[in-house]
Chains A and B, each alone.
Chain A
Amino acid sequence: MSEQTPGATDSKSTSNEQLLTFIVNGEEYGVDILRVQEIRGWSNPMPIPNTPSYVKGVINIRGDIVPIADLRERLGLAHRDYGATTAVVVLRVMQGARQRIMGVVVDAMSDVTNVPVADIKPPPDFGEAAGAALAKGIATLAEKMVTILDVDRIFLLPSAAVDAAA
């Protein structure tokens, strides 16, 4: 704690969360940067039979078989064709005691931002709306709002997510 930000006296505001932010459907979303393994361009995955449509399939990342989910579809938004800005964020996800590597497809990458923990508010209760359970918090920055996603829940089915929350 030797290098405190000038003017910051509250110990809470000295702790920052560093977020990787990206754009989906014009909105900005963020994930804890420590959970990000890498960012890749879109490559055509091998579809997995009999899985929900947001699971696009699996790709080969240096010998690992990694599943890919479309965040638009996961959030209940309409599918959009993948283009030049489409990116895959490869995340380290905890499921139970197990760490898995999974990728999410986003419309475009945005930024890396430091957000003081004090500026992160719990998400408003959207009830059963698709994707509501994915939000971990909302960070309000000077010029924009970033929805922080709970990376561990992106790959859970809504019902399973409810189970996990219960």
Chain B
Amino acid sequence: MSSDLSSLQAQLMGTFFEESFEGLERLETGLLRLEEGAEPGVIDDIFRAAHSIKGAAGTFGFGGVTEFAHDLETLLDQIRGGARVATGELTALMLEAVDILRRVLQRHRDGGDPALPEVAVVRVRLQASVKATVAGEGTAAPPLPVAPGPSAAPATPAGWVIRFAPHLDLLESGNEPWRLMRELEQLGKFQVEADLTRLPALELLEPTKCYLSWQIRVEGATTRAQVEDVFSWVADDCDLSIAALGDDAPLGDGTALRDGAALGDGAALGDGVAPPREQAAAASAALVTAPARVAPAAEQAARQRRDEGDGALASLRVGVDKIDFLMNMVGELVITQSMLGELDDDGPIDERRLGRLRAGLSQLARNSRALQESVMRLRSMPVGVVFNRFPRLVHDLSRQLGKRVELQVTGQATELDKTILEKLGDPIVHLVRNSLDHGLETAEERRAAGKPEVGTLSLTAAHRGGDIVIEVRDDGRGLDLERILKKARQRCLVGAEQVLSEAETTNLIFAPGFSTAEAVTDLSGRGVGMDVVGRNVKALGGKIVVQSVRGQGTTVSLRLPLTLAIIDGQLVQVGDRPYVVPLLSIVESVQIDPVRVRRLVGQWDVYRLRDQLVPIVDLGRLLGVTTARAATAAGLLMIVESDGQHLGLLVDELEGQQQVVVKSLEANFGRVPGLAGATILGDGNVSFILDIPGLAKLAKQQGGAERMVGPAAAAPPVTPLEATV
């Protein structure tokens, strides 16, 4: 086969997957709206989405997908035809089906084995549901699935043995193993054993990683779905196996016994967890899924991660209107060019021609500005892309938590740079989960507090000034400041006598370490990952503000720049070269008073600024630029902040502030320590944008801060130019 043909096919497949995933998203949104009792148009839309996935999958020969989608479609058709009503249970089943379709498609895309064991289970339920209608059973939801396959399972086993091995980064996505345990505990008699084998030596231990894994035994009349539900939010972040636990009841024949034992080995169920009699007992329901899941789990997880990475960057869908606008702008530009071109003959420059030249130039300026803006708009995407996943999350999570929550989303159309948007998803998920989990109360609590039973969670995005502001607001119980303060005192984050303002106390939730360990109270859970959220937002050049009124709710606002491609910069002169310092990191600039320069331990030069000692970094030395500056006193000290620490940059002169377009140095050269990138100034010359945290690190590597009194020490070391690949 020629490579052209296969590349064409790959391209078509890519489109197919992209569209199918979009279709699934539409399906999901539609189903959720259906449950809320939406208008009749919705069901048609859902139906169409399911139908096109079915059709396209058939074209590419994904038979499994087609059949599955067909069953889903049949069910939808019944709803559309009015043969049945979409009950909550039915919607839940269909949502589950959507999840499975998504996973199967993902596997197809990555060349994995699309034969997921769950497919059969859900398909059986779908078909049962379809038949239920045909048999005239009305709107009754289908019975819980009886697992198909060789061993007919007992309807409900005596309990479950769960092996739960989170991936190292589980905590970063805001999930807490203990919370899962707590939920499991409610399902029945509960016994848990931690596996410490992955735990590294203390000096290698990273506190943000989850090294533990657990074996959990839950006894009691619990369905598999209930157990799976508990883990539904972490399914992608852990290796999970769920095996049925036998009981003395003679539920298994010989086959089951043998299988059960095999499973015991395969899933590495420890003796400590399952007493012998259970261990030997049947695990028939588990046969359907567990063995198949254990082995490829890691592989699947790795692949999933890759999906998210690649898929996010692979392509960009741009609205036709934006392209049209761009075409228009280019058209205008051509007209302007020809208008200016007419002036380019040998005729004398007279008053009339000068006037036309001026008009043409101002038109050119207007055109290029509009062109720049519209190109920037190509990179931006509506916030809705991120917001869309929340109805489902809120729906599932509130159900799981037994809370009634109404989600209000506004400003989905607000546009934001794609790179920022991609990095914003996780922090917002964090905040929403926090609100649901800790902010909003249960219906009873709310009634007792005299609030409407249904809690409100609102997600808002809006442009404000040159920034975009995203708010996550709930009308829950608010932050308990006293408790936060108490906790912080316990952890020695705050001195016992120190008095903090409300805002300062609120900000404690961002303190790293506030979130860790024995964060068992409901409230302190809010600290989980807030540290990470804060850091992520800062890394994007944004700010985060928390406002909370006790008993009335909490609002978290993220303020972010519209783009990372343009930043506000302060031009400084070092030697005869201009450099750009990001305005965000500048605290103040002072004229140096030589009296205040101190040498600390013969190593560090520090500057006494009010009650603070600020290390001095000689930019000229650090950047290898010779300056004509005779004495320290002639220089200026620009105080900048890096990771909460202040640093004084010694510069020769301050120049203007201006917006600069960030250009990559890495594209043609490589990373240079201390430089965040390059930019082109108005005169066409190149200047560098300083990377303040990088400079701080560089200064430390060069033996503390710079020495600036006395003869120059050793020349700055030459960092080898990286042969970057």
Binding site for B on A (CB under 8 A): 45-52, 55, 57-60, 63-67, 95-98, 100-102, 155-157, 159-161, 163-164
The interface residues of chain A, by DSSP majority, are classed as: mixed
Which chain A residues border B685 with CB–CB below 8 Å? Answer: 46, 60
Please measure, in the bound complex, the distance between the C-alpha atom of A156 and the C-alpha atom of B722, giving whole angstroms. 8
Which chain A residues border B720 with CB–CB below 8 Å? Answer: 52, 157, 159-160
CB distance from B32 to the nearest CB of A (A): 43
Select which of B665, B674, B719, B725 is within 8 A of A58 by beta carbon: B665
> In the complex, are the beta carbons of A45 and B686 less than 8 A apart?
yes
CB distance from A132 to the nearest CB of B (A): 17
Q: Which chain A residue shows the least CB distance to B717? A: A50
Which chain A residues border B687 with CB–CB below 8 Å? Answer: 46
CB distance from B326 to the nearest CB of A (A): 18
Select which of B663, B721, B725 is within 8 A of A51 by beta carbon: B721
Which chain A residues border B654 with CB–CB below 8 Å? Answer: none
> In the complex, are the beta carbons of B672 and A50 less than 8 A apart?
yes
Q: How many residues of B contact A (CB 8 A)?
A: 31
B630 near A: Cβ within 8 Å?
no
> In the complex, are the beta carbons of B664 and A65 less than 8 A apart?
yes
Select which of A46, A66, A156 is within 8 A of B577 by beta carbon: A46
Q: List 28 A-B contacts (CB under 8 A).
A: A46-B685, A46-B687, A47-B624, A48-B669, A49-B624, A49-B716, A50-B717, A50-B719, A51-B718, A51-B721, A52-B718, A58-B668, A58-B686, A63-B663, A65-B664, A65-B667, A65-B680, A66-B668, A67-B668, A95-B725, A97-B725, A98-B724, A100-B669, A101-B668, A155-B723, A156-B723, A157-B723, A164-B723
> In the complex, are the beta carbons of B663 and A65 less than 8 A apart?
yes
Contact A59-B719, Cβ < 8 Å, known A64-B667, A67-B669: no
CB distance from A93 to the nearest CB of B (A): 8
Which chain B residues border A63 with CB–CB below 8 Å? Answer: 663, 680
Which chain B residues border A58 with CB–CB below 8 Å? Answer: 665, 668-669, 678, 686
Please measure, in the bound complex, the distance between the C-alpha atom of A163 and the C-alpha atom of B719, giving whole angstroms. 18
Binding site for A on B (CB under 8 A): 577, 622-625, 663-665, 667-669, 672-675, 678, 680, 684-688, 716-721, 723-725
Please measure, in the bound complex, the distance between the C-alpha atom of A164 and the C-alpha atom of B722, giving whole angstroms. 13
Residue from B625, B673, B724 with most neighbouring chain A CB atoms (10 Å): B724
Select which of A46, A50, A102 is within 8 A of B686 by beta carbon: A46
Select which of B667, B675, B724 is within 8 A of A49 by beta carbon: B675
Which chain A residues border B719 with CB–CB below 8 Å? Answer: 50-51
Which chain A residues border B623 with CB–CB below 8 Å? Answer: 49-50
Q: Which chain B residue shows the least CB distance to A163? A: B723
CB distance from B407 to the nearest CB of A (A): 44
> In the complex, are the beta carbons of B721 and A155 less than 8 A apart?
yes
Please measure, in the bound complex, the distance between the C-alpha atom of A101 and the C-alpha atom of B157, giving whole angstroms. 66
Which chain B residues border A157 with CB–CB below 8 Å? Answer: 720-721, 723
Please measure, in the bound complex, the distance between the C-alpha atom of A154 and the C-alpha atom of B340, giving whole angstroms. 43
Q: Which chain A residue shows the least CB distance to B719? A: A50
CB distance from B62 to the nearest CB of A (A): 32
Which chain B residues border A163 with CB–CB below 8 Å? Answer: 723
Beyond A46-B686, A100-B669, 6 additional contacts (C-beta under 8 Å) are: A64-B668, A65-B680, A98-B725, A100-B667, A100-B668, A160-B720
Please measure, in the bound complex, the distance between the C-alpha atom of A98 and the C-alpha atom of B718, giving whole angstroms. 25
CB distance from B375 to the nearest CB of A (A): 12
Please measure, in the bound complex, the distance between the C-alpha atom of A102 and the C-alpha atom of B721, giving whole angstroms. 14
Q: Which 10 A-B pairs have the closest CB atoms?
A: A96-B725, A160-B723, A49-B623, A46-B686, A50-B719, A65-B678, A67-B669, A100-B668, A49-B624, A156-B723
> In the complex, are the beta carbons of A60 and B684 less than 8 A apart?
yes
CB distance from B716 to the nearest CB of A (A): 6
Q: Which chain B residue shows the least CB distance to A57? A: B686
> In the complex, are the beta carbons of A47 and B672 less than 8 A apart?
no
Residue from B663, B687, B721 with most neighbouring chain A CB atoms (10 Å): B721
Q: Which chain B residue shows the least CB distance to A63? A: B680
> In the complex, are the beta carbons of A49 and B669 less than 8 A apart?
no
Q: Which chain B residue shows the least CB distance to A51? A: B721
Please measure, in the bound complex, the distance between the C-alpha atom of A22 and the C-alpha atom of B669, giving whole angstroms. 24
Select which of A49, A60, A161 is within 8 A of B672 by beta carbon: A49
Which chain B residues border A101 with CB–CB below 8 Å? Answer: 668
Which chain B residues border A48 with CB–CB below 8 Å? Answer: 665, 669, 672, 675, 688
CB distance from B429 to the nearest CB of A (A): 34
Please measure, in the bound complex, the distance between the C-alpha atom of A101 and the C-alpha atom of B721, giving whole angstroms. 16
CB distance from A149 to the nearest CB of B (A): 17
Please measure, in the bound complex, the distance between the C-alpha atom of A47 and the C-alpha atom of B675, giving whole angstroms. 12
